[in-house]
């Protein structure tokens, strides 16, 4: 009779299946227990990281923490500019010198209302945009283009992040004029 296993063949087949299952389970357990890159708090096994800002505590999970711009970019790659909201409107001239550099314009003590921002690269084919707006509570909005009208619904410090679009080609290196007004 063709297609029927002998008892010895059946045992061999079952042993192979169990061996493969055992190896798979071992690999699964090892990969699930590898937490060397996860930040743990001082209290124990908690995967939550809290940041105290003034009278507010912002809780960041590991994904939010890894996605933040400061966690990904070295400090020398950021051109930081601080502008008090009381001094708006303002025009800033900055120069980006590398493909990994970005500009962070922090507008301090801003009240609620509309905020207009625009950028004018020195080169017409420059790959440069307003990529994000970081709000006082740490939440973000974006990406945008070269102009935005943003409805600021919270009082506090806003950060406008300007850098290249990874979805487009071209260089961001060069001069940029940044115009911010209420």
Residues 85 and 175 in one domain: yes
Q: Which residue has the higher pLDDT, 40 or 24?
A: 24
**Number of folded domains that form the chain:** 2
pLDDT band at residue 149, thresholds of 50, 70 and 90?
very high
- Identify whether residues 81 and 51 lie together within a single domain: no
pTM of the model: 0.58
Phi-psi region of 86 (alpha: psi -120 to 50; beta: other; left: phi over 0): alpha
Domain boundary among 56, 72, 88: 72
- Give yes or no: residues 51 and 90 share one domain: no
Residue 19 lies in a domain: no
Q: Are residues 142 and 167 in the same domain?
A: yes
What pLDDT, on the 0 to 100 scale, is given for residue 52?
47
CATH number for the domain including 117? 2.60.120.380
CB atoms within 10 A of CB 176: 21
Range of the domain at 43: 39-72
pLDDT tens per residue across span 67-90: 444 445 455 688 899 999 999 999
Cα 92 to Cα 154: distance, rounded to the nearest angstrom: 24
Q: What number is the average pLDDT over the span 55-59?
A: 48
Is residue 10, in this structure, part of any structural domain at all? no
């Amino acid at each position: 009779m063709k297609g029927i296993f002998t008892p010895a063949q059946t045992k061999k087949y079952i042993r192979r299946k169990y061996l493969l299952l055992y190896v798979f389970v071992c690999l699964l357990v090892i990969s699930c227990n590898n937490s060397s890159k996860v930040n743990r708090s001082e209290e124990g096994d908690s995967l939550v990281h809290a940041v105290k800002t003034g009278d507010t505590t912002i809780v960041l999970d590991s994904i939010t923490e890894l996605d933040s711009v400061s966690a990904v970019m070295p400090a020398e790659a950021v051109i930081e500019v601080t502008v008090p909201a009381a001094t708006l409107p303002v025009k800033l001239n900055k120069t980006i010198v590398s493909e990994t550099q970005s500009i962070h314009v922090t507008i301090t003590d801003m009240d609620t209302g509309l905020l207009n921002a625009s950028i004018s690269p020195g080169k017409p084919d420059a790959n440069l945009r307003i990529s994000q707006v970081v709000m006082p509570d740490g939440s973000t909005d974006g990406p945008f283009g070269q102009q935005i009208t943003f409805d600021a619904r919270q009082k506090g410090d806003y950060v406008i992040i300007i850098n290249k679009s990874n979805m487009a080609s071209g260089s961001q290196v060069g001069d940029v004029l940044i115009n911010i007004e209420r």
